[in-house]
Structure 1
Amino acid sequence: MAELKTKEDLEKRKRVLEIEKNAIAKYMGPYEHDEFLEAEWKEINQELNDIEEKLKNM
């Protein structure tokens, strides 16, 4: 992934990740335990946290 340097780039990436997260949430019910989706969920959350930190520090 390209390095996100501007606030606008970070906000665009954040929106994309939130859309992906919502899509995964639709398929992961309370009794669903798909390992791939769980791993993807964790990666998305981590990247969202990283973006939030970068936005705070700008």
Structure 2
Amino acid sequence: MASAEWNFTPASVTTGRELLRRMPYNRAAVDWSDRNVDETYVHTWWPRSLTTFIIS
């Protein structure tokens, strides 16, 4: 919920907060990731190019 202001435009932040409120959130998974992945993750492959299709 605290990230809503960074993820939604000012006009849609209220709708965005409602969307985030309804999303499933697993605190145990976040804690596990913090302990086992986030600080220790090292990528073994990096793309030379990445095709991207952006719709705005």
TM (norm. structure 1) is 0.24
- Counting helix residues as a fraction of each chain, which structure ranks higher? 1
Greater relative contact order, per chain length (Cα 8 Å cut-off, separation 6+): 1
